[in-house]
Amino acid sequence: MMYLQIDGVSKTFGGNKVLSDIRADIREGEFCAFVGPSGCGKSTLLNIIAGIEKADSGEVRLCSRPSAVQDAISFMPQQDLLLPWRTALQNIVLPLEMKGMPKRDRISRGRDVLRQFGLEDYADHYPSSLSGGMRQRISFLRTYLCEKPLMLLDEPFGKLDAFTKMDVHRWLLDSWEKGNQTILMVTHDLDEAILLSDRVFVMSQQPSSIIHELKVNLPRPRKLDMLASEELKKDKDELLSELASFLGR
Ligand SMILES: Nc1ncnc2c1ncn2[C@@H]1O[C@H](COP(=O)(O)OP(=O)(O)OP(=O)(O)O)[C@@H](O)[C@H]1O
């Protein structure tokens, strides 16, 4: 049985047809990326999967049940939505607090992941005093600590500098390869999409549909030095040729 089914999802905003019959079957434990031209509807698709927006037609099912999706997901939207009155640490432990984890345990877990991300010195900073890249990592950690089987990430690392991004990629590959979480990620970074994913879906301009599916050739476990590999270059050429008609617009 397919784990997550995106079955014929269409969406129109005020006469503007954004998504047209989007279909994808995702296996449990898969890492999939969605790429496409700016404004084609990638965030709209994630919002529909997350239940924030409603599809005009079609539906999203988890293990055949539409109602099961919302309980299974954690979602990192493009805007970080950090709570300004909470410190970085208090923001990331929010899901643990909501689960009822005792304070000492959640603080210890929160500090531990902050340390893994090199952010331990910023634990007591409020979001307003953090850089965009720091806020993005805090937002990612908060989503990660929800510990849900399905994680939706909307351009999660777009504000990170190249070195920090590599660290985060290494961490995410390690953490994901140890578990069985299903991840759907929207990104503009083709190297990132290929390095992390099992499959990359290419979306067209509006009205957007999935025009191509790349099955990534890189073996697992993945390592950062694969960024320079011939296999990655071949996959990237394939994506670029699919995206070529949208470039320069
Ligand atoms: N709530 C809304 N009301 C009206 N129009 C909307 C709404 N949400 C999205 N849109 C429109 O839908 C289209 C797709 O937007 P969306 O943010 O999903 O694209 P995207 O592919 O994620 O873009 P980007 O890559 O630039 O982040 C845009 O034309 C946008 O203006």
Per-residue pLDDT tens over the stretch 90-125: 999 999 999 999 999 999 999 999 999 999 999 999
Residue 167 within any structural domain of the chain: yes
Residue 99 within any structural domain of the chain: no
With a cut of 90, say whether residue 174 has pLDDT above it.
yes
Band (pLDDT 50/70/90 cuts) for residue 81 is very high
Q: Taking the chain, what is the end-to-end CA distance rounded to the nearest angstrom? A: 40
Per-residue pLDDT tens over the stretch 198-221: 999 999 999 999 999 999 989 999
pLDDT at 246: 74
ipTM: 0.98
Band (pLDDT 50/70/90 cuts) for residue 2 is confident
Residue 91 within any structural domain of the chain: no
Position in ligand 1 atom list of the atom nearest CA 46: 18
Residue 92 within any structural domain of the chain: no
Overall domain count for the chain: 1
Nearest CA to ligand 1 atom 16: 41
Please say whether the beta carbons of 226 and 195 come within 8 A. Answer: yes
Residue 143 within any structural domain of the chain: no
Residue 49 within any structural domain of the chain: yes
pLDDT at 248: 57
Interval between CA 13 and ligand 1 midpoint (Å):
9
With a cut of 90, say whether residue 70 has pLDDT above it.
no
Nearest CA to ligand 1 atom 5: 13
pLDDT at 247: 67
CATH number at residue 72: 3.40.50.300
pTM: 0.96
User: What percentage of residues in the chain have a pLDDT greater than 90?
Assistant: 92
pLDDT at 65: 85
pLDDT at 69: 81
Distance CA 215, CA 200 (A): 7
Q: Which domain holds residue 181?
A: 4-81+149-246
With a cut of 70, say whether residue 60 has pLDDT above it.
yes
pLDDT at 49: 96
Residue 90 within any structural domain of the chain: no
Nearest CA to ligand 1 atom 25: 38
Residues with CB under 6 A from ligand 1: 13, 18, 36, 38-44
Residue 185 within any structural domain of the chain: yes
Q: What is the 3-state secondary structure (H, E, C) of the chain?
A: CCCEEEEEEEEEECCEEEEEEEEEEECCCCEEEEECCCCCCHHHHHHHHHCCCCCCEEEEEECCEHHHHHHHEEEECCCCCCCCCCCHHHHHCHHHHHCCCCHHHHHHHHHHHHHHCCCHHHCCCCHHHCCHHHHHHHHHHHHHCCCCCEEEEECCCCCCCHHHHHHHHHHHHHHHHHCCCEEEEECCCHHHHHHHCCEEEEECCCCECEEEEEECCCCCCCCHHHHHCHHHHHHHHHHHHHHHHHCCC
